[in-house]
Amino acid sequence: MLQLQTIRENKESIVTALKKRNIDAEPILCAILDLDEKRRSIQTELDGTLAESNRLSKEIGQLFKVGKAQEANAIKAQTAGLKETSKQLGEDLNATTAALQEHLYQVPNIPHQSVPSGNTDQDNEEIFREGEIPSLSEDALPHWELAKKYDIIDFELGVKVTGAGFPVYKGKGARLQRALISYFLDKNTEAGYTEVQPPLMINEASGYGTGQLPDKEGQMYHIQADDLYLIPTAEVPITNLHRGDMVSQEDFPIKYTGYTPCFRREAGSYGAHVRGLNRLHQFDKVEVVRIEHPNNSYQALDQMVEHVKNILRELNLPYRVLRLCGGDLGFTSALTYDFEVFSTAQDRWLEISSVSNFETFQANRLKLRFKDENGKSQLAHTLNGSALALPRVLAGILENYQTPNGIKVPDALVPYCGFDEIK
């Protein structure tokens, strides 16, 4: 959420910056400033009314002390009117503050200056590519066919138990899935991230804290009886570990990693491009989260990008890195790099990670602050990234490592799963 002071001081530059997102922010920013002015005006009037009421209350006490009851009672009638006025002003203030907050929630983050303009994912900017795309035989299969052939993932059984988008991993498929989780966590902890195991459900405050609410409530599973949400990513509970905190500058960088299942409704997602593991309602992901001093957050973002690159190099998967354009940028992000693995059998790129800097956008919602050298309270910067999302990584491994006789296992994973081939 953008800070009010930032909007007051930089309205025109924000309007210009948000054009990269193909948004005309002029109307809503004007509405925000009008509501802010109204809120401050009501607050000033309320403060004056309460001050006058307090002054008269003291005067009434003094008059009673000196025996001037008639004068005191006359003033009491005046204070009754002030109390009614202050009550109404308080209600107006609460309503205006709530309306202001709702308007602020509707404004996305300001794109970083390096974000390219564009409308769709076709306008994203490829900034890096690495790895050799393997040459497969003419009878090479997509991963959903391989999963059936080798009996390692059962999509139909998942439909029976729950519904589409909830696969059942079996035998070596389950072991390979577990191996990937352990491998990713080990790589992250070796890089200095502290492992945590967060809750899989969040309350409403946590959803608002990281920006899933009110923007994406239709994409989350909502448990209405308890007013809880199943997490769409570990980013949400992990970042909320510091909601409302005043951290110390000496604590930076704060680095976490965590494995969780993730749950997304993915409403409206249909077609051949979402077959198999390409898009699921439940999937596993290992996340990295960083809380940084504002001066260091973009250096931290570069480090996270290099960290994911190193993992993909070890897995020997062909990948590329994209800088997302304004039209494809997430609501809360200032700058996002997407990683995509090339699926040779599908002849397409599959997104397997997003690494983002949110600057102060989430921290302002979370009230996550630190004191600078002058003792002044400042908002921290938050970052997160997938390291990595398992379904499409697994799809890439199955498809790119297939041979006429079976599926080889990347060397880095063999110690974790205890076998080097699926036959």
Tell me the binding residues for L-serine.
233, 264, 287, 384
**Are 192 and 292 spatial neighbours (Cβ–Cβ below 8 Å)?**
no
Contact 402, 362 (CB under 8 A): no
Amino acid at 195: E
Q: Known binding site: residues?
A: 233, 264-266, 287, 351-354, 384
Question: Looking at this protein, which amino acid is placed at residue 357?
Answer: N
Which pairing describes strands 282-292 and 228-230: parallel, antiparallel, or unpaired? unpaired
Asked whether the beta carbons of 240 and 273 are under 8 A apart, the reply is no
Q: Which residues are annotated as a binding site for ATP?
A: 264-266, 351-354
Distance between CA atoms of 384 and 392, rounded to whole angstroms?
19
Query: CA–CA separation, 178 vs 364, rounded Å?
Result: 36
- State the Cα–Cα distance between residues 33 and 26, nearest whole angstrom: 11
Sort 116 into a burial class: Cβ within 10 Å, 0-12 / 13-18 / 19+: middle
